Amino acid sequence: MTNVTIIDYGLGNIQSIANMVKRVGGIAEIACSSRDIQKAQKLILPGVGAFDHGMNLLHKKNFIPVLKKKIVKDGIPILGICLGAQLFMSNSEEGKLKGLGWIEGNVRKFVFNNPQLLKVPHVGWNTIQIKKKCPLLTKMKNGSRFYFTHSYYIDVSSKEDVVATTEYGIEFVSIFNKDTLYGVQFHPEKSHVFGMALIKNFLTMT
């Protein structure tokens, strides 16, 4: 079985993700300290809430130095989920703090001319359009459905980092990948069969 360490920094559906990992045959460990992260083979950074709050909690827990070593220097795989994926970016229109900056890009707010037709936040099921091959999407096709809930979206600087996009008034990045960094704007732990497939792919990729 594959071990994956879920980073508990105070935000995110920790237990839901752990249950999903177990359902697909993995072993979920919860990292509550830097020491826990140091032992990790693969990492998941979840997140629900505001950008600055997430960054403040990572700083408060003193997780950033050990995460930088594990991700940037050691190159172990990490999957960011929703806010967790947004924190990989350089900055966000939601807050004033700098992001982790592991991938060049920004987090932008949905702004629509007709809010009666397209409400913010974007909540519910939506599909992806695959832009390039990625082990995260092994055996998945265009139109795979995932559960979203977000008011801000990821805008990566390089098209080479875009794995899949989703339409909601605009076309936005719903999955990205650079080196061993993977990010999804949706919640795989709430996405039933497609979410299970994605988590299983993350656990089994080499």
Instruction: Write the pLDDT tens digit of every residue in 36-58.
Output: 999 999 999 999 999 999 999 99
What residues are annotated to the active site?
Answer: 82, 187, 189
Domain boundaries, the chain: 3-204
The tokens for 143 are 């139109």
Measured over the CA atoms of residue 34, residue 11, residue 83 and residue 1, the dihedral's sign is positive
DSSP state of 19: H
CB atoms under 10 Å from CB of 194, counted, come to 20
Quote the pTM value: 0.96
Which residues fall within 8 angstroms of residue 11, CB to CB, at 6 or more apart?
Answer: 46, 47, 48, 49, 53, 54, 57, 83
What average pLDDT score do residues 13-34 get?
96
Side-chain half-sphere of 2: how many Cα atoms within 13 Å?
Answer: 20
The architecture CATH gives domain 3-204 = 3-Layer(aba) Sandwich (3.40)
Which tens digits make up the pLDDT trace of 103-124? 999 999 999 987 678 999 999 9
Q: For residue 156, how far is the Cα from the chain centroid?
A: 13
List, for residues 180-199, the tens digit of each pLDDT value: 999 999 999 999 999 999 99
Q: Which of 12-16, 84-88, 149-153, 179-183 shows the lowest per-residue confidence on average (mean pLDDT)? A: 12-16
